[in-house]
Structure 1
Amino acid sequence: MTKSLLKYRYSFTAGAFAAGGSFFGHAPSQLSELPILIRLFEYTPETIYYLELILLRALPIALMLICNVLNWRYFLKALQCTEQTLTATVLTAATNYMFSFLLGAIVYGEKVTMLSTLGAAFIIVGLWFLCKAQEEQKVKDKMKKLH
């Protein structure tokens, strides 16, 4: 199983960057509601304006763009490393969903329900079956070539 996870590392990395892109895309609306950021600085109305512009708007958007570029970079590498494009696509999407679920719950305090936990469990089990099926197919193909 470890070799199959290593083989699909680009898919997992692409999914993590995709989740990062959506996380930072969602961040400006969430960060602007945190009054603690404003209390950290001696402020004037002009300082608050520039602080909000740079830290709460520009930085998250720049990080979102960087994450999205890296998502595509690693997704293309994942497509090159796998025999089937469907495998890379599914692994990337599932990783994106899992990281988004975790980031939403931990950072943004989104509600974790029994249904969302069950959905996350199904995604993990599906990933395991997908990776296992790919490895078993490879073994079968090798056995056919030997005979």
Structure 2
Amino acid sequence: MTKSLLQYRYSFTAGAFAAGGSFFGHAPSQLATVPLLTSCFTPTEEVTYYLELLLLRCLPIALMLLCNVLNWRYFLKALQCAEQTLTTTVLTAATNYMLSFILGAIVYQEEITIISTSGAMFIIAGLWFLCRAQEDQQIKDDLKKLL
């Protein structure tokens, strides 16, 4: 199991960066409602406008772009290292969905519904079946080599 986790580490990393891209893409709309700068100090109106533009709009968008570039970089590395591209794609997507679900619930206080919880459970069950099928196939391949 440890060997398979090492084999797919780039898939998990790509999924984490994809979730980061979604997280930072959602951040400007959430940060716009927070009186971030006016609570720290009382700058002039012009300074406040430019600081808010830089911190609340440009920085999250730049971080979103960086996460998306790193997502594609590690996804391509994962495809190069893996034996099956389907597993790489599924692990990357599942990692993205699960981390987005967790970050949304914790950071953005998004509502956790029965539908979202059951969706997360289906993702975990699908990953379990996928890993189980690969282990069974690996055992069959090893037995064929011995015979």
TM bracket (short chain): over 0.9
- How many residues end up aligned between the 2 structures? 147
Q: Is residue 2:32 matched to residue 1:27?
A: no
Cα deviation code 1:97-138 (max 9, x no counterpart): 101111111111110012211111111121122122222212
- Aligned-residue sequence identity (percent) comes to 76
- Residues 119-138 of structure 1: matches in 2 within 5 Å? 119-138=119-138
Measured on the aligned residues, the alpha-carbon RMSD in Å equals 1.2
Cα deviation code 1:3-46 (max 9, x no counterpart): 22222111111011001001101111110111144311322111
Where in structure 1 are there 5+ consecutive unaligned residues?
none
* Counterpart Cα distance in 2 of 1:111 and 1:29: 17
Alpha carbons of 1:81 and 1:49: their partners in 2 closer, same or farther (altered >3 Å)? same
Q: Post-superposition, which runs of at least 4 consecutive aligned residues in structure 1 deviate over 6 A?
A: none
- Residues 1-147 of structure 1: matches in 2 within 5 Å? 1-147=1-147
Do the aligned partners of 1:4 and 1:131 also contact (CA within 8 Å) in 2?
Answer: no
Range that drifts further, 97-106 or 128-137 = 128-137
Range that drifts further, 1-10 or 20-29 = 1-10
Cα deviation code 1:57-96 (max 9, x no counterpart): 1110110011001100110111112111111111111111
SS in 1 for 2:136: helix
